[in-house]
Chain A
Amino acid sequence: MKKIEDFTVIGHKWLNYSSYVIELEAPEPLSPVRPGNFAEIEIGHSPHVFLRRPFSIFNVNMINNTLSFYVKVIGEGTRALGRARKGDKVNIIYPLGNAFTIPEKNKILVVAGGSGIAPFILYGKELQNHNKSATFLIGARKAEDIVLIEMFRPYGDILIITEDGLLGEKGMVTQHSIFRHDDFPCDHIVTCGPEPMMKAVAGLARKKNISCEVSLENTMACGFGACLCCIVETVDGNKCVCTEGPVFNINQLTWQT
């Protein structure tokens, strides 16, 4: 059940120069949230942040009725939300969008680039509930952008790659040595991050004939299927990322990979 509610900020923590985690408490018991679901947050009251901003739901606490969001500052909206203080009210529409599927398969590789880690704590939790685990390959431009790593530890192995080479292997995510193994250690891939990275991962998955789901980002006016702005081209025509996604199997997309 989608809800529109005033949440209260109960925690706000900067992780580095450009990202933070904000935790908000719901006024009533939370609706169930699945990995990949997102929320539309009203930041508002500024002429330059007119629309809500969509954020992947990073973590959920069903006992305390809190949602948290991992936010990277990219513009006015994310900067303004970064100034929120404990006790502030924030209006949120949630849960929106579809979710990652839990595959039958057991060797799951999660590929996350930069702020693309956002949906994967919930994914790790859901895998754990199904007695599964994953390998988390996490990449970023700079070592200081690698944050919140320890949170993934309970849900599987962690591999790191950075373009500056100061943490983990050096290079782009798709250059990680895991992809060079003759005996490729996975049979299902899920990915979220910059589009060129996801396209490259989708290409690798396709080449190795491995099932793959991607979580897409898109500019949205509403987030619930009314505006028809956030489309992606699929084999069945244009689809709204907000209602038919954000998670798509790569076979649905028309990406040339």
Chain B
Amino acid sequence: MIRAWLVFALAVLAMKAQAHHAPNSFVRLDFRAHEVRAQLMVPVSELTFAMHATPTQQALPAYLLKHVGAVTPQGAAWTVTVTAVRPTTYLDQPYLVASVVLAPPAEASVRDFTFTTDAVTHEVRNHVVVIVAERDYADAALGDAPKILGALQYPGRELAIRLSPAAPR
């Protein structure tokens, strides 16, 4: 029932999508035991300004590797890998969704780091990247209530993430 309502509501809003505010980006983080997986949903319209070209699925990984990262509190860089890119549509507007794996250096915590991104925001001054914790292997309840961790707008490009330590398993 809820799902049917949601599909209906989204269909209605899709019809309304042209009443758009300039679309923002959305980053969903999934905290695993040894890495963080991220889904970056970026609007094609704004990405076009940032890449100075029509963005493609093929070109996006190289762009994101320059504009997305993570570092430990001591400043050591994490490894960033773009594993997939797919197109999607949200409220009639095209987006690209990138699957990204963020892996910390050996011995570094996956729950205490600084997420960095200036994707799109390095160029589009009104653009906002909203970052959300969507899943956490140590917090089963999060899946039911994703938590907004913060939002980045130029010139901001760093978001400190300090999750409580995972309980021993």
Are A and B bound to each other? no
On B, residues with C-beta under 8 Å from A are none
